[in-house]
């Protein structure tokens, strides 16, 4: 029997104006910001699940370490 799916928390840094807009939209929809973000991320995550990037051939899969 499998246990519950393991989860990992992420943290995002946004400009305050963007965070306020996100907070207002979550309040308008009467849901937590986290749930709203998950809903918005889900289509892209589903695509990645179906088509995982190949780190050996996909330049986009190589992390850009020059960004601060």
What per-residue confidence (pLDDT) applies to 53?
82
In a domain, residue 22? The reply is yes
For residue 61, pLDDT beyond 60:
no
Span 10-29, average pLDDT? 97
In a domain, residue 31? The reply is yes
Write the DSSP string, 10-61: ------HHHHHHHHHHHHHHTS-HHHHHHHHHHHHHHHHHHS---TTT-GGG
Q: Which domain holds residue 26?
A: 16-51
For residue 67, pLDDT beyond 90:
no
In a domain, residue 60? The reply is no
In a domain, residue 64? The reply is no
pLDDT in tens, 24-58: 999 999 999 999 999 999 999 999 999 888 877 76
In a domain, residue 2? The reply is no
Q: How many structural domains are present in the chain?
A: 1
pTM (2 d.p.): 0.68
What per-residue confidence (pLDDT) applies to 65?
64
In a domain, residue 6? The reply is no
């Amino acid at each position: 029997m499998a246990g519950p799916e393991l989860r990992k928390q992420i943290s995002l840094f946004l400009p305050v104006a963007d965070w306020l807009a996100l907070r207002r939209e979550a309040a308008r929809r009467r849901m937590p910001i986290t749930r709203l973000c998950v809903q918005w991320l889900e289509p892209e995550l589903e695509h990645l699940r179906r088509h995982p990037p190949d780190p050996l051939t996909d330049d986009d899969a190589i992390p850009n370490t020059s960004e601060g």
